[in-house]
Structure 1
Amino acid sequence: MKKIFLSIFPILLIDQILKIYIKTHFELGKGVPIFSFFWIFFVENPGMAYGISIAPGYFGKILLSFFRFIVVLFIFFFLYKNIKKKSSNYLIIPTIFILSGAIGNLLDSFLYGLLFDTGTIYNQESHKWISYSGISNLFPWNGGYASFMKGCVVDMFYFPIFDIYIPYWTPFFGGYNFKFFKPVFNFSDFIISIGIILLLIFKKKIKHVKIF
């Protein structure tokens, strides 16, 4: 248990420091270029990766938060079992990365609605997620912008490596701008991706793994 905590805590600390700094210093939908192909750009995501949602509105948000919690529990017990079995580090290290990232985004969903005074909220009448203006404050005296499990995930890394216009005469795709890489993501997403990539790279070195 101690090994799991000591491995996860530094990743969570970096993730939360970045997210809290961005949310308390940047306006939603704005950012700064570090390089032409790399921006720090603040967006809030009420759904999963790429804005995908399980169901509309707060029902979908709570469902997603609950799903994230179940996934975190599943990965934790899987990791705990394999550490006790002294499984290969080719399995343990990537799993720690995936678990750390999953917990990082879970904390946003569970707590950010309570910890910040402003955030993206769902309008029941228009059935749309409504953004806000200004800078968010941490630990508001008059309460947060949403209840438990209704917070939005903070994303900030944006890589517009290239942006090209496809001529209108091009079959099927003509007349559109193609931008790569368009999605904005956070440190947790990055860590999860690294964990998955490592599992794929070292899958031949990971043998006889049982889920439970």
Structure 2
Amino acid sequence: MSLKKSIILIILVLLIDQISKIYIKTHFKLQDSIEVFDWFKIFFIENNGMAWGTKISDFSSYISERTAKVILTLFRVFAIFGIGYWLYNATKNKSSKVLILAIALIFAGALGNIIDSVFYGVLFDSSRNQVATFLPEAGGYDGLLHGKVVDMLHLPLYNDYLPDWIPFYGGEFFTFFEPVFNVADVAISVGFVMLIVFNKKAFPKTKHDGDN
């Protein structure tokens, strides 16, 4: 898989990710929900931190949420350069298609969420109790590097009370799968799953002289 094809894939994923986020942001209020199927909903939330809404400030009381947000965003920016260099080397060295495809998906997903974190605070006003406006005259809901990641895909595959016979949790209401995510998250997850499931194809062992 060539670098050119990888870039095309990255652009396609980015377009789908950003178009879906901009549509949700400009047509939904925060917490608005539409049921597509029993097991699939469009549910608009904004994520201010890492995976599952975790924040750096959750682990340290010495760091304010705003400082932690800047640290996280800058870390993501530096990380994307590292992933980009990894992708460039993989294509240059003609690594396996599985590896290149996986890195390209991870890169596209990471870049998609970085765009939200860096720019969305400036590009949109708040979605709380209103539908956000793109490039509002009064300015965005926050500054550069303080944007929130837009999530909207919700898959409550099981959303009911658990049977009484289940130990400890029987009779309690349970939702699986509860996290809300976006297209960028899907790309990152698929890329990592590919690296794990197809590990031997992604990282084939090279035979050295004298090996049988």
Q: What interval of TM-score do these two structures reach, taking the shorter chain for normalisation?
A: 0.7 to 0.9
Q: How far off its partner does 1:189 sit?
A: 0.3
Counterpart check, 1:173 vs 2:169: yes
Which deviates more from structure 2 when the two are superposed, residues 200-209 or residues 104-113?
Answer: 200-209
Corresponding letter in the other structure for 1:157: L
Aligned residue in 2 for 1:207: 204
Aligned residue in 1 for 2:135: 139
CA RMSD of aligned residues (A): 1.9
User: In 1, Cα distance between the equivalents of 2:165 and 2:11?
Assistant: 53
Aligned residue in 2 for 1:122: none
Which deviates more from structure 2 when the two are superposed, residues 176-185 or residues 163-172?
Answer: 163-172
Aligned residue in 1 for 2:82: 74
Aligned residue in 2 for 1:127: none
Corresponding letter in the other structure for 1:155: D
SS in 2 for 1:44: strand
Aligned residue in 2 for 1:149: 145
Q: How far off its partner does 1:208 sit?
A: 5.0
Which deviates more from structure 2 when the two are superposed, residues 14-23 or residues 57-66?
Answer: 57-66
Counterpart check, 1:183 vs 2:185: no
Aligned residue in 2 for 1:10: 12
Counterpart check, 1:115 vs 2:115: no
User: In 2, Cα distance between the equivalents of 1:77 and 1:93?
Assistant: 14
- Picking from 74, 92, 104, the partner of 2:100 is 92
Is the 8 Å Cα contact of residues 6 and 100 (structure 2) preserved in structure 1? no
- Picking from 48, 51, 58, the partner of 2:50 is 48
Q: What's the CA shift string for 1:89-120, capped at 9, x where partnerless?
A: 1110011000000000000000000000115x
Corresponding letter in the other structure for 1:207: P
What percent of counterpart residues are identical?
44
SS in 2 for 1:73: helix
Aligned residue in 2 for 1:126: none
User: In 2, Cα distance between the equivalents of 1:48 and 1:94?
Assistant: 21
Aligned residue in 1 for 2:155: 159
Is the 8 Å Cα contact of residues 28 and 131 (structure 2) preserved in structure 1? yes
SS in 2 for 1:164: strand
Q: What's the CA shift string for 1:59-86, capped at 9, x where partnerless?
A: 1111110111121111100111111111
Is the 8 Å Cα contact of residues 6 and 101 (structure 2) preserved in structure 1? no
SS in 2 for 1:28: coil
User: In 1, Cα distance between the equivalents of 2:6 and 2:38?
Assistant: 38
User: In 1, Cα distance between the equivalents of 2:138 and 2:22?
Assistant: 19
The alignment covers a number of residue pairs equal to: 197
- Picking from 178, 187, 192, the partner of 2:188 is 192
Q: What's the CA shift string for 1:137-174, capped at 9, x where partnerless?
A: 00112211110110000000001111232478965435
Aligned residue in 1 for 2:61: none
Distance 1:168 1:59, change over 3 A: farther
Structure 1: 5+ residue stretches without partners: 120-131
SS in 1 for 2:44: strand
